[in-house]
């Protein structure tokens, strides 16, 4: 991505729904003129970036190799063999970028911290003071312009050494590494950061990294992909389990040692698609419920209710890891807010009673098939990404679903955008 693309990324929104239900439907036939004054006091509008996608400077000032650095440098892994070595050059141009954010009139900015910039070798090496200094400068400059920093600890990039030593999230050792990293961030930035997200989209990471093999470390198995290693039916479940336990342990640490004096809040961000039945029958309506359970509730049910959703337990059986009684005590209730990344609304077809393409008839997928079209008609206006359609009603539906399932918990829409068909 060039610097020009950064200007587009900064148009994403962060909004807060404190026990809020939509007063007006979205996607109606009439076009409404929405003004900022229509929203209540305390409603946050913001922008968002993530470290690997914007920073560049991939080996400058003591930063270590990340999993994405290594993965992107393997020919064929990324379209056009692109990489994030320079990206938007945010590492050198962050002051200019913060000026751009400020010019939009927003009052919040979401960023992630590069784990390998803070701890080049994880807990097996020293803290990198240049990395601490870099994020201190970003946080201070945001605050000086009246912009609230929302900080994500882990947005997919991690020190490559942790992958080399014990295969990162496939190992329970990763839980302690994450807590070690989180504590350093809380100590150095928590006096000014009041909104923390532990992990960004663990459900998407498990899917793309360990089921489809499209993200590092590129694990998958047939029929989901053609990778040199991996087990798509099992590894995503192990990875998610370790991520949830790592999250919960970091939250316990924050609440015990930092939250009482720093006064912040902490949550997790989930990739939150919404679904509609492809056909007007009970099988597809049940498939919609399974799809939501196997994606959103996979992340949030344990953190709020203390266990995986019943739909997953029923269809996955002993393949699904379990929480010990001790783990349930600190996993349950381990979020102050829910972060929602919403990009897509899709049709769902049942694959228990209907024939589906290979892979969709596996338990790991919940026996569901997703599509953006019904009888050749797209579910919404097409975008440059084939699976993304503009479906405004989807935002209302996802907020209502999470509100109802999770007892009206506070939520932030931490990402929402669409990709245009052409670029500058």
Residue of 55, 161, 344, 415 with catalytic role? 415
CA distances from 135 to 114, 117, 126, 254, 374 (A): 9, 10, 17, 19, 47
Instruction: Report how far residue 187's alpha carbon sits from residue 167's, in angstroms, rounded to the nearest whole number.
Output: 27
Which residues sit opposite 370 in a β-bridge?
348
**344 part of the active site:** no
The C-alpha angle with vertex 193 and arms to 129 and 9, in degrees rounded to 5, equals 90
Judge whether 65 and 31 are in contact, CB under 8 Å. Answer: no
Residue of 55, 201, 276, 344 with catalytic role? 201
Whose CA is closest to 181, among 201, 161, 164, 167? 161
Q: How many CB atoms lie within 10 A of CB 349?
A: 22
> Quick one: residue 122, left, alpha or beta (phi over 0 = left, psi -120 to 50 = alpha)?
left
Which value, in Å, is the radius of gyration of the alpha carbons in the chain?
Answer: 21
Which residues sit opposite 268 in a β-bridge?
338
Tokens of 277: 């039945």
Burial of 306 (0-12, 13-18, 19+ CB in 10 A): middle
**415 part of the active site:** yes
- Looking up tokens 């039916």 gives 233
State the pairing for strand pair 345-350/337-341: unpaired
Whose CA is closest to 157, among 278, 305, 52? 52
Judge whether 391 and 346 are in contact, CB under 8 Å. Answer: no
Q: Is 47 helix (H, G, I), strand (E, B) or coil?
A: strand
Instruction: Report how far residue 379's alpha carbon sits from residue 397's, in angstroms, rounded to the nearest whole number.
Output: 15
The catalytic residue positions are 201, 415
């Amino acid at each position: 991505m060039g610097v020009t693309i950064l200007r587009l990324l900064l148009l994403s929104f962060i909004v807060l729904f404190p026990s809020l239900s939509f007063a007006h439907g979205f996607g109606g036939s009439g076009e409404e003129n929405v003004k900022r004054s229509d929203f209540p006091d305390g409603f946050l509008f913001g922008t968002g970036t993530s470290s690997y996608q914007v920073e560049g400077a991939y080996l400058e000032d003591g930063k270590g190799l990340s999993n994405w650095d290594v993965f992107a440098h393997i020919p064929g892994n990324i379209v056009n063999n692109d990489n994030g070595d320079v990206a938007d050059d945010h590492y050198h141009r962050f002051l200019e970028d913060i000026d751009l954010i400020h010019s939009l009139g927003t009052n919040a900015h979401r960023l992630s911290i590069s784990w390998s910039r803070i701890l080049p070798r994880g807990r097996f090496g020293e803290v990198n003071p240049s990395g601490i200094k870099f994020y201190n400068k970003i946080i201070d400059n945001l605050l000086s312009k009246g912009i609230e920093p929302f900080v994500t600890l882990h947005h997919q990039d991690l020190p490559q050494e942790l992958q080399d030593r014990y295969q990162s999230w496939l190992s329970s050792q990763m839980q302690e590494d994450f807590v070690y990293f989180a504590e350093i961030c809380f100590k150095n930035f928590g006096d000014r950061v009041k909104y923390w997200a532990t992990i960004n989209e663990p459900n998407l990471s498990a899917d793309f990294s360990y089921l489809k093999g499209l993200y590092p470390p590129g694990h998958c198995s047939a029929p989901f992909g053609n990778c040199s290693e991996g087990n798509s039916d099992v590894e995503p479940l192990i990875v998610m389990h370790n991520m949830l336990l790592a999250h919960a342990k970091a939250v316990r640490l924050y609440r015990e040692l930092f939250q009482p004096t720093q006064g912040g809040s902490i949550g997790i961000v989930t990739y939150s698609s919404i679904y509609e039945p492809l056909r007007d029958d009970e099988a597809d309506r049940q498939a919609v419920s399974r799809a939501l359970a196997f994606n959103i509730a996979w992340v949030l049910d344990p953190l709020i209710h203390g266990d995986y959703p019943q739909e997953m337990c029923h269809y996955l059986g002993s393949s699904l890891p379990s929480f010990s009684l001790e783990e349930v005590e600190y996993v349950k209730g381990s979020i102050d807010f829910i972060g929602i990344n919403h990009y897509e609304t899709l049709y769902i077809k049942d694959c228990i009673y209907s024939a589906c393409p290979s892979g969709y008839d596996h338990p790991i997928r919940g026996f569901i098939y997703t599509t953006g079209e019904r009888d050749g008609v797209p579910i919404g206006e097409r975008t440059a990404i084939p699976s993304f359609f503009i479906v405004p009603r989807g935002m209302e539906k996802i907020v209502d679903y999470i509100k109802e399932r999770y007892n009206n918990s506070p939520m932030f829409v931490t990402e929402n955008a669409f990709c245009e068909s052409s670029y500058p």
